[in-house]
Amino acid sequence: MVAESQEAVAGLSRHARQMVRELAVIAGGIVLYFGVRGLITTRIDVAYRNAESIVGLERSTGTFVEPRLQQVVIDRGWLAEVAGYVYIYGHWPVLLITLVWLLIRHREAYRRFRNAMLLSGGAGLVIFALFPVAPPRFLTAYGFVDTVTERTSAYRVLQPPAFVNQYAAVPSLHFGWNLLMGIAAPVWGRTGRSGCSAG
């Protein structure tokens, strides 16, 4: 009985240490993100020039199709509404729920996907610092429409500009991380719990 109690306490202690370690990693990532965000605020003109360079490159290769594609979605009002709500309300819940599920039920898979997020996020921060890019929603002269802001104010509540790097359009971690969670989704169907620790 005593041995079982000690084993249970040791298990809880190990679990608590893992949680503290994961929270420390997340806190470190947030500090780095805000550090890079601070670098960008004085280089907004560079972010616009870089965005225009990308548009120029796409035009020269005949691949500048984004405004036309967006217009197809806008012309189907319901599709624009759905896309906007998925964009606003889907991002953080999808990330958090998937990662928590993996941490609790599939530790080995959690470690892989956590590391993929950290590595891609680190690469993204380097690119954001060296090559800031204004997002398409700021490039109205090229035919882009900020459908999210036009149709709802929730974006400013859930992702307030004061806490978001407005000039981190390339690469899109928003898209990339949700794609990563989509790749993780098949893990949900597996039964059982991995005995591996999330190290």
Block means of pLDDT (10 residues each) for the chain, 199 residues, are 55 75 79 71 87 96 95 89 81 85 86 89 88 92 86 60 75 88 77 45
Q: Tell whether 112 is covered by a domain.
A: yes
pLDDT at 195: 43
Cβ proximity of 50 and 133 under 8 Å: yes
Domain count, the chain: 1
Query: What's the domain range around 27?
Result: 2-189
Q: Tell whether 194 is covered by a domain.
A: no
Q: Tell whether 195 is covered by a domain.
A: no
Q: Tell whether 116 is covered by a domain.
A: yes
Q: Tell whether 15 is covered by a domain.
A: yes
Q: Tell whether 198 is covered by a domain.
A: no
Q: Tell whether 106 is covered by a domain.
A: yes
pLDDT at 107: 83
Backbone torsion region of residue 103, taken as left when φ is above 0, otherwise alpha when ψ lies between -120 and 50, otherwise beta: alpha
pLDDT at 194: 44
CA distance 43 to 173: 20
Is the pTM of the predicted complex or chain greater than 0.85? no
